[in-house]
Chain A
Amino acid sequence: MRKYLKLLGIFWRFSILRELEYRVNFLTNAFMSVFWLFWGVISATIFFAHRDTVGGWTFEQVLVVLGLYTLFTGVMEAFFRPNITQMIEHVRNGTFDFVLVKPVDSQFYASFHSLTMWRLVDILAGAALIAYALRAMGLTPTGGQLLAFGLLLLVALILIYCIWLAMMTMSFWFVKIDNFAELFYAFYETGRFPISVYSGLLRALLTFVIPVAFITTFPAAALMGLLEPTELLIGIVLALALLALTNRLWRFAVRSYASASS
């Protein structure tokens, strides 16, 4: 475990050093992240110009959801996107063999060895929006609510990781498709609004199959004391189940991986 934490430190330090060479790039992108956040808030006001609530949520409550949406966009783009890109390159060029012969767990190495630092700005911007919305509502979460929120953030992180790991695993079989990750964003886009906006089948799909609800809606609900305890429980079970499942999928894929030339 300690070895892996140390490795993580080395990987990320190296990624950051490499990016610091392009400072203008960092600044413009940081600026754009903040811009997109404002854009999201303005878009939300359009809906609230016609109704007091959307899906039963007030404007400030929706801002918390939007904050989480931005935060997790940052997580995905900073931690997972660079790795899936490299994974696809590795499989395509046959250099994935070099990953396999390294004396570390291949899933760990493939999942975490790059980081896009400037995307961390999204995480900060999202957190700032959440803090702002809570203040605007005059809400101070209790210890219990914070605990539930923390647990659900962890659940959301695990779920996101599992989804990206599954997509990475797919690249073993679909070598030609380099924009696989975009497909997840089609569903993630729904996370800008609370899950109660969507009806019927779509809501079930977004809760249990592609669990976007557990990434933005439920953590937001936890923070504002709107969460049903069963939802927390379902989230934890779902996260653990997916973690086990995607790990098995990865192992299966690595075993059947035949390198580039063979």
Chain B
Amino acid sequence: MRKFFIKYVVLTRRGIAAQLEYRMAMAIWILSASFPLVMLAVWLSLAAEGPVGSFSAGDFVGYYLLSFYVRQMTAVWVAWELDYDIRHGDLNIKLLHPIAPIHEYISFNLADKVIRGILFTPLVIGVAWLIPTIQIAPTAANLFFFSIALAGAWMLRYLAQFILGLFTFWFSQALVLIDIFWMLYLLLGGGIAPLELLPEPLKTIAFYLPFRLMMSFPIEIMMGRLDTAEILSGLAATMVWGIALMGAYRLLWARGMRRFGAFGA
């Protein structure tokens, strides 16, 4: 266990160094994530005539600021890495390392999260502090549950994308699945609108699918819209989905390895 932990730390540090190499490219990826701001602008234009459902202008600002933060802190691109590594055979090199490849991919992502955390946590706090009309509820309990839910959101997004990326073992167009996933994530996870504002039946569907847990759930906590029972049931749901996805990962990885060996790469 200790050895495993040390490996992780080393890999993550390597990841940070590697990402700082490409800091300009990274800056552009971050800056180009304007979607939450565009949605905020549109909702604000609607909220100018009065609140939309239970959302005032201040609520929208809070919601999309948090949405920006949650999306930055849960950003995942492992499907593209897998796609590249499987097709070019770079996965072979990772298979030789004394740690399962998924951990190597995860540590690279964690490195990115360290950088983004240092960059965006003060930024988001600063913006929230500068806008007095913003509606958020940063109590100690909410902050605590928010951090757990955020980690859960990252885990679900990561596992889901990893699993979809593994389909590259079987067909070359697997990245199309990521596109479809992304559409559902934005629509049913709360990217376009807070889930409360979705028309039926989308609203009910969204409540039962894991996309909510990947974006909307931590935001709802931080906005003070959930009571303790709702928070705990959300965290439990995150855990259940997490276990299910881990099972799916193990199964697909084992089969994928057999397949990968079979093409003699």
Contact = CB atoms under 8 A, between A and B. Distances in A.
Interface of A: 24-25, 28-29, 32, 35-36, 39, 42-43, 45-47, 49-51, 54-55, 174, 176-180, 182-183, 185-187, 189-190, 192-193, 197-199, 202
B173 interface: yes
A32 B174 CA distance: 12
A181 to B, nearest CB: 9
A51 B28 contact: no
B24 interface: yes
A46 B28 contact: no
Contacts of B32: 179, 182-183, 185-186
B64 to A, nearest CB: 14
A187 B34 contact: yes
Contacts of B43: 47
Contact of B42 (A35, A174, A182, A197): A197
Interface in B139-162: none
Nearest to B171: A24
Given A25-B173, A32-B176, A197-B45, A186 B31 contact: yes
Contacts of A54: 42, 45-46
Interface in B26-46: 28-29, 31-35, 38, 41-46
B199 A45 contact: yes
Nearest to A45: B199
8 contacts: A32-B179, A39-B187, A177-B24, A179-B29, A179-B32, A189-B35, A199-B41, A199-B45
B192 interface: yes
Sorting the interface of chain B by its residue count into under 10, 10 to 19, 20 to 34 or 35 or more gives: 20 to 34
Nearest to B180: A35
B227 interface: no
A92 to B, nearest CB: 13
B193 interface: yes
B25 interface: yes
Given A50-B46, A54-B42, A179-B28, A43 B187 contact: yes
Contacts of A177: 24-25, 28
B183 interface: yes
B198 interface: yes
Given A28-B176, A47-B46, A35 B197 contact: no
Contacts of B202: 46
A174 B24 contact: yes
Nearest to A197: B45
Nearest to A177: B24
Nearest to B48: A199
B114 to A, nearest CB: 21
Residue of B24, B25, B32 ringed by the most chain A CB atoms within 10 A: B32
B41 A182 contact: no
B174 to A, nearest CB: 10
B176 A50 contact: no
Given A189-B35, A190-B41, A46 B180 contact: no
Contacts of B192: 43, 46
A50 B53 contact: yes
Residue of B44, B49, B192 ringed by the most chain A CB atoms within 10 A: B192
Closest 4 CB pairs of A and B: A186-B34, A182-B32, A186-B32, A49-B199
Contacts of B183: 35-36, 39
Contacts of A174: 24
Interface string B35-69: 10010011111100100110000000000000000
A189 B183 CA distance: 15
B173 A28 contact: yes
A36 B179 CA distance: 9
A51 B49 contact: yes
Given A35-B183, A36-B183, A183 B28 contact: yes
A32 B186 CA distance: 16
Given A47-B193, A199-B44, 13 more contacts: A36-B183, A42-B187, A43-B186, A43-B187, A43-B192, A45-B199, A46-B202, A55-B45, A182-B29, A186-B31, A190-B38, A197-B41, A199-B45
Interface in B188-205: 192-193, 197-199, 202
Contacts of B53: 50
A95 B215 CA distance: 45
A189 B39 CA distance: 10
